[in-house]
Every structure is written in structure tokens, then in C-alpha cells.
């Protein structure tokens, strides 16, 4: 028996929303009935766009039967493929542990003595540089774009680029400053895919100074650490921990963000 579909009388459509109702006969399979409805109900009608379709079984129909409902809304209510993307950003603070200050403003010692010079090392005690936690600025932003389809190959590209840093200027951030945090995708009914891309920014730095070490440069998402070793402070007549070397480590792979 062939599957048939017929629109019911009385279209329920207004200026901003509405429904088209159908009767589908000749199948007991809800998936077949919905496919028939999706192929028949127009994707747009009188300025409204199809948001969703659903089918409900009609009991007692020989050979199977369903009612079908196609719901419609305005373009403002329903995202369309290739419509303008939306943008969000968040600039705030987050905690970071540091072992080295930007500079030592003052040091104090008992009268007649000189305070040991640790060259900016923070919280030295019993051979350890303990450091401190500070609040540093953070920059997170996201974009949502709309697509008619999202292929598995593109999902694989998103997966491969997640956790990588830009190898060229991207969204106003220089190479090395933007970290791709991943993406989320969603789809409602016959509407487009909404894909949200999440990023974090960290500035590249030059001219850093650690103790007597100068001319240090690092990309935003490289890891920077300092080695300390005991030194004789002849003025204070003490052995102190001072920076003896600084290291910049690449901990994130670089990626071609133009593939996004």
C-alpha cells in the first residue's frame, strides 16, 4: 500500500507563527510518516520558515495512519543558514600562581643589617621559593555561526584544532595569542546547525626581566618558568635563592585557524 499524505483544511497561520496539518496514511512506521511529512510540508510559506515537524499515530486505522504537524515562525525566531553570526566575550580575572615579582619595591632589615636580595623571588623560606597567588586579566570570547549542514569531516577538523594556538593572526590576535577551546553544535528540527566556537586570548610578551636576566620574550600561551639557585649575598652576608635561568616552553601545538 502506497503512503499518501494530504493537508487538512484550515491552515492555522498568523503573521509571526502558525501550523500546517496533514493526514498520512498507508504506513505503521513513524519514521516513514515523518519523512513523508518533511518532503511535503514547504520549508517556507508566506514569509514564515518551517521550524519543526512531528507526527502522531492515529489508532485503529487499517494499514496505519498519522497526523502530521509542521510549525512555522518568522526569520527572527528561526535561525537561517548563513545568517549573521552572533558574538559574545568575557573579560575578567583569574588566579595565577607566581614565584617572581615585577620588582621589589622595598626591603627592610634590623638596624645595622641589610635585607637579603632575592632578585624578585617571592616567599623564600627554608630553601624554597613559595610564591603567591595573584589575580590576572583573562579574555574569553565565542562566536555562533549557522550552517545548512555540518559534515563529519568538518567535525574532525574542529576536533583536531581544539587545544591548539593560532599560527597566524586570528580575530585581531597575533600568532601565539589565541587558544581554541573547542566548539559545540546544535540543530533543532529542520533548522540550520548552530555552531559555537570558544576561544581564549593571552598576550605575547617581550622585554621581560627576571632578576638579572633581561630580554626575555614569550608567546601568549607558552609556559614560562624560572630556575633558582643559592647565591652569596655579600652585602647581607647571607646565602639566598636567586634566579639563575629563565625558560620559555612551548606546551600547545600551533594550528591553522583558517580551517575553522
The 3-class secondary structure across 166-190, one letter per residue, is: ECCCECCECCCCEEEEEEEEEECCC
Name all contacts of 37-42 with Cβ < 8 Å and 24+ positions apart: 37/5, 37/68, 37/70, 38/190, 40/5, 41/68, 41/70
Q: Please give the pLDDT value at position 204.
A: 97
Tell me the per-residue pLDDT of 192-230, one tens digit each, with 9 for 90 and over: 888 999 999 999 999 999 999 999 999 999 999 999 999
What's the chain's Rg over C-alpha atoms?
32
160 pLDDT exceeds 90? yes
pLDDT on residue 51: 80
d(CA 38, CA 167): 44
Buried b (16+ CB within 10 A) or exposed e, 84-117: eeeeeeeeeeeeeebbbbeeeeeeeeeeeeebbb
The pTM assigned to this predicted structure is 0.64
Rounded distance between C-alpha atoms, residue 103 and residue 210, angstroms: 9
| Stretch among 92-96, 130-134, 141-145, 187-191 having the lowest mean pLDDT | 187-191
Partners of 216 in beta bridges: 208
Q: 15: closest CA among 70, 76, 69? A: 76
Q: What pLDDT sits at residue 1? A: 67
Q: Around 108, how many Cα atoms within 13 Å sit in the side-chain half-sphere? A: 0
Q: What residue ranges do the domains of the chain occupy?
A: 4-73, 86-259
> DSSP label at 83?
P
Amino acid at each position: 500500500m502506497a503512503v499518501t499524505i494530504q493537508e487538512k483544511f484550515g491552515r492555522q497561520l498568523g503573521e509571526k507563527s502558525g501550523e500546517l496539518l496533514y493526514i498520512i496514511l498507508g504506513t505503521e512506521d513513524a519514521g516513514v510518516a515523518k519523512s513523508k511529512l518533511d518532503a511535503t510540508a514547504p520549508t517556507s510559506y508566506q514569509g514564515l520558515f518551517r521550524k519543526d515537524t512531528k507526527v502522531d499515530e492515529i489508532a485503529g486505522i487499517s494499514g496505519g495512519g498519522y497526523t502530521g504537524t509542521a510549525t512555522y515562525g518568522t526569520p527572527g525566531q528561526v535561525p537561517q543558514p548563513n545568517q549573521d553570526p552572533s558574538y559574545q566575550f568575557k573579560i575578567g580575572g583569574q588566579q595565577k600562581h607566581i614565584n617572581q615579582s615585577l620588582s621589589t619595591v622595598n626591603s627592610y632589615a634590623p638596624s645595622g643589617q641589610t635585607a637579603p636580595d632575592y632578585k624578585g623571588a617571592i616567599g623564600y623560606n627554608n630553601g624554597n621559593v613559595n610564591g603567591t597567588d595573584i589575580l590576572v586579566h583573562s579574555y574569553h570570547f565565542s562566536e555562533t555561526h549557522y550552517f545548512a549542514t555540518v559534515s563529519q569531516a568538518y567535525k574532525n577538523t574542529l576536533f583536531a584544532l581544539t587545544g591548539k594556538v593560532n599560527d597566524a593572526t586570528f580575530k585581531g590576535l597575533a600568532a601565539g595569542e589565541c587558544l581554541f577551546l573547542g566548539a559545540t553544535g546544535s540543530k533543532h528540527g529542520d533548522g540550520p546547525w548552530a555552531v559555537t566556537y570558544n576561544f581564549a586570548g593571552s598576550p605575547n610578551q617581550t622585554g621581560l626581566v627576571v632578576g638579572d636576566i633581561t630580554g626575555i620574550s614569550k608567546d601568549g600561551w607558552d609556559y614560562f618558568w624560572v630556575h633558582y639557585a643559592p647565591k652569596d649575598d655579600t652585602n647581607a652576608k647571607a646565602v639566598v635563592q636567586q634566579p639563575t635561568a629563565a625558560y620559555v616552553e612551548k606546551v600547545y601545538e600551533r594550528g591553522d585557524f583558517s580551517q575553522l
